[in-house]
Amino acid sequence: MLRLAAMVSVEQTRAELLDGRTLAEQIKREVAEEVRRAGIKPCLAAVLVGDDAASAVYVRNKVRACAEVGINSDQHVLPAATTTEELLALIDELNRREDVDGILVQLPLPKQVDEALIIEAVDPRKDVDGFHPTNVGLLAIGRPRFVPCTPAGIIELLERNKIEIAGANACVVGRSQIVGRPVAGLLLQRHATVTICHSRTRDLPSVTRQADILIAAIGRPAFIRGDYIKRGATVIDVGVNKVTDANEARSMFADEADKRLEAIKQRGYTLVGDVHPAEADQIAGRRTPVPGGVGLLTVAMLMRNTLQAAKARRGV
């Protein structure tokens, strides 16, 4: 009887998984319907420089999503030795093309390419990633043209799951321009009290344990442990990291361990986010899985931004 009671207690504390896959499919259906109603054919130009395997997968996923929602895709794959000048010439061509509504330059770029210069070269009206300084500024003052795709997906996930943002204590671990800073701004605009943490934050667990909404975006596998999390908090895991060691995977995934060990056996790795899933499940109220969480929403929000760019350019 005591053993049964203990089992029930553990079961009751297990975090609810927030399903990014289903929500991403819903958003893509909404985009496809809006494309149909508007009677336009948006076009996204995707630029991939080099042969990074992960970047190639990301671009393929985005191209596939375009086909699903009725957006044309125009893919440009350049060699790893491409110079800044050569890439700038391509960006200039895409800026001038009337049939191109959105431009996506897959990051990171090779070391010899000036990434900041490339980002600034993209026409802000076609900057569907939302990285151009003009679009960053518009977002900061609460008048966004394009919201960066991962932060936009996080907000959709929170709002559509009816997770209260206004009045909540929100903590963002990571201060990148791609995720950390913009998502903090979006939360602040929705009346959360926001703390941004980073590598120099003192006693990080004591800060993160105050958060009703905890967002991890630091790129360190299973870094956020159970003692970093407030009981009942919503934990959004942005990280995507590879784990190749079977013993590490066994400790991270608990009930999912067999499936994850099989993945390591078959392809040499399994994916984990920045949050330790087994420990988070015993403390958090809700958690996004990896895979199947934020990453899929990033692609869906890119489709929405591309449609938005096309409508704005056509005055629709």
Residues 2-27 pLDDT 10s: 333 333 344 446 899 999 999 999 99
Taking the CA atoms of 140, 295, 31 and 63 in sequence, report the sign of the dihedral they define. positive
Mean pLDDT of 25-37: 97
Count of other CB atoms within 10 angstroms of residue 244: 11
| Topology of the domain covering 40-127 | Rossmann fold (3.40.50)
Catalytic status, residue 129: yes
Q: Which CATH superfamily is domain 148-294 in?
A: NAD(P)-binding Rossmann-like Domain (3.40.50.720)
Query: For residue 243, what are its two tokens?
Result: 């784990």
Contact indicator for 107, 130 with CB cutoff of 8 Å: no
> Going by DSSP bridges, is the β-strand pair 286-287/16-17 parallel, antiparallel, or unpaired?
parallel
Asked if the model's pLDDT at residue 120 lies above 80, the reply is yes
Rounded-to-integer distance, Cα 107 and Cα 119, Å: 10
* 109-118, 190-199, 254-263, 299-308: least confident range: 254-263
Catalytic residue among 62, 123, 126, 308: 62
Query: For residue 121, what are its two tokens?
Result: 């070269």
- State the pLDDT at residue 50: 94
Mean pLDDT (the chain) is: 94
DSSP 283-316: T-SEE--SSSSHHHHHHHHHHHHHHHHHHHHHT-
Rounded-to-integer distance, Cα 115 and Cα 214, Å: 29
**Band of residue 129 on the pLDDT scale cut at 50, 70, 90:** very high
Domain 40-127 shares a fold with domain 148-294: yes
- State the pLDDT at residue 241: 94
Rounded-to-integer distance, Cα 20 and Cα 297, Å: 6
Catalytic status, residue 126: no
Strand partners, 76: 47
Catalytic status, residue 62: yes
Contact indicator for 27, 156 with CB cutoff of 8 Å: yes
57 versus 283: the higher-pLDDT residue is 283
CB-count exposure of residue 266 (10 Å: 0-12, 13-18, 19+): exposed
Asked if the model's pLDDT at residue 282 lies above 90, the reply is yes
Contact indicator for 192, 169 with CB cutoff of 8 Å: yes
Rounded-to-integer distance, Cα 80 and Cα 92, Å: 19
Strand partners, 271: 242
Query: Could you tell me the CA-to-CA distances from 34 to 38, 112, 138, 296, 311 in Å, in that order?
Result: 6, 40, 25, 20, 10
pLDDT digits (tens, 9 = 90+) for 202-237: 999 999 999 999 999 999 999 999 999 999 999 999
Catalytic residue among 101, 106, 126, 237: 106
**Band of residue 255 on the pLDDT scale cut at 50, 70, 90:** confident
Mean pLDDT of 72-77: 96
Domain ranges of the chain: 40-127, 148-294
Catalytic residue among 101, 123, 127, 129: 129
Please count the helices (runs of H) and the strands (runs of E) in the chain.
13, 11
Max Cα-Cα span within the chain: 73
- State the pLDDT at residue 307: 98
- State the pLDDT at residue 9: 41
Give the list of residues 6+ apart from residue 105 with CB closer than 8 angstroms, or none.
47, 49, 87, 91, 118, 119, 122, 129
Query: For residue 291, what are its two tokens?
Result: 């895979």
**Band of residue 315 on the pLDDT scale cut at 50, 70, 90:** confident
Query: Could you tell me the CA-to-CA distances from 269 to 222, 245, 259 in Å, in that order?
Result: 15, 8, 12
Closest among 125, 85, 128 to 105, alpha carbons compared = 128
- State the pLDDT at residue 13: 65
Q: Read off the pTM.
A: 0.92
- State the pLDDT at residue 116: 97
| Cα 284-223-259 angle, rounded to 5 deg | 75
